[in-house]
Amino acid sequence: MCELFGWSSSEPARPERYLRAFRARGGATADHVDGWGLAYLVDSTFRVEKEPEPAAASARFATLAGNVASALMVGHVRKADFPPVRALANTHPFVHRCCGATWVFAHNGLVPRAVERSKSVMPSVCQADGDTDSEHAFCLVLEALAGCHAQEPGVQGAACVDTLAAAARAIGAFGTFNFLLSDGERLYAYCHDRLHALETVRPGQRSIAIATQPLSGEPWGAFEPGELRVYRAGSLAARASSDLALREGALS
């Protein structure tokens, strides 16, 4: 399957050591060789770089890993399963507009039935550009958030966090659905069965790194299966699981 990398920080920073280790997962230390992508925030706008080539062999990714400084990132290295085709349109992260924001999304796992479901629902806010189950699942997520957003002042509201968690669990019933999602302000991380986080606190800076597998020898903590976390500026802003939901700010 694929692997994920997420980054949220109180200030723009270079997570170089983690990005270099993550890049190596794309063909050197793991066999995710069918593409890579990195979405990172620059002046409140996402810049997306990706190639349908092995990350470990990409000079472009090597340059990014050593130079990108950002407060928010979503990364992905792909092992093509559905469909088993290398193509730029099938390379994560995916980008779509919804609810007045630009969203980026990357997925680890397989949810092939999400394609059939997406086509039957015909999401009004999102049409997949590629053929992956991941992008169709992304459209289903945005459709759920659009419905909640119409009733709530913002997707950061506790009700919309619960809506996202419920949508994630419903799509996860189709297979395996670990994902990272961002609206340019918050980083949403959902664990179906495997996701880890490392929090770092330094003078003047808080950051959180998220990855499918730990990317350093430090003590990364595992998410609970079925857990959704929302990070904002390097801090945990909200959390939802099958039996718990906390409002944004309650954990700060």
pLDDT of residue 243: 56
Q: Tell me the average pLDDT across 138-159.
A: 78
pLDDT of residue 99: 86
Which homologous superfamily does the CATH classification assign to the domain defined by 3-246? Aminohydrolase, N-terminal nucleophile (Ntn) domain (3.60.20.10)
pLDDT of residue 159: 75
| Separation CA 52–CA 50 (nearest Å) | 7
83: cis peptide before it, omega within 30°?
Answer: yes
Categorize the per-residue pLDDT at 121 as very low, low, confident or very high, splitting at 50, 70 and 90: confident
Q: Quickly count: other Cβ atoms within 10 Å of residue 153's Cβ.
A: 8
| Separation CA 141–CA 118 (nearest Å) | 10
Categorize the per-residue pLDDT at 245 as very low, low, confident or very high, splitting at 50, 70 and 90: very low
Categorize the per-residue pLDDT at 28 as very low, low, confident or very high, splitting at 50, 70 and 90: very high
In the beta sheet, which residues pair with residue 150? none
What's the mean per-residue pLDDT of the chain? Answer: 91
More confident residue, 160 or 190: 190
Contact yes or no for 167/173 (Cβ under 8 A): no
pLDDT digits (tens, 9 = 90+) for 184-231: 999 999 999 999 999 999 998 999 999 999 999 999 999 999 999 999
More confident residue, 242 or 41: 41
Q: What percentage of the chain reaches a pLDDT higher than 70?
A: 92
3-class secondary structure, 139: helix
Residue 22 predicted with pLDDT over 90: yes
Categorize the per-residue pLDDT at 174 as very low, low, confident or very high, splitting at 50, 70 and 90: very high
Contacts of 3 (CB under 8 A, 6+ apart): 22, 25, 30, 32, 76, 77, 108, 211, 212, 213
Please report, for the chain, the start and end positions of each structural domain, with discontinuous segments joined by +. 3-246
User: What is the token pair recorded at 136?
Assistant: 């169709």
| Separation CA 43–CA 25 (nearest Å) | 29
| Separation CA 219–CA 222 (nearest Å) | 10
Residue 120 predicted with pLDDT over 50: yes
HEC assignment per residue over 191-240 = ECCCCEEEEEEECCEEEEEEECCCCCCCCCEECCCCEEEEEECCEEEEEE
| Separation CA 79–CA 97 (nearest Å) | 26
Sign for the pseudo-dihedral over CA of 45, 63, 179, 33: positive
pLDDT digits (tens, 9 = 90+) for 34-71: 999 999 999 999 999 999 999 999 999 999 999 999 99
| Separation CA 49–CA 37 (nearest Å) | 6
pLDDT digits (tens, 9 = 90+) for 64-109: 999 999 999 999 999 998 888 999 999 999 999 998 899 999 999 9
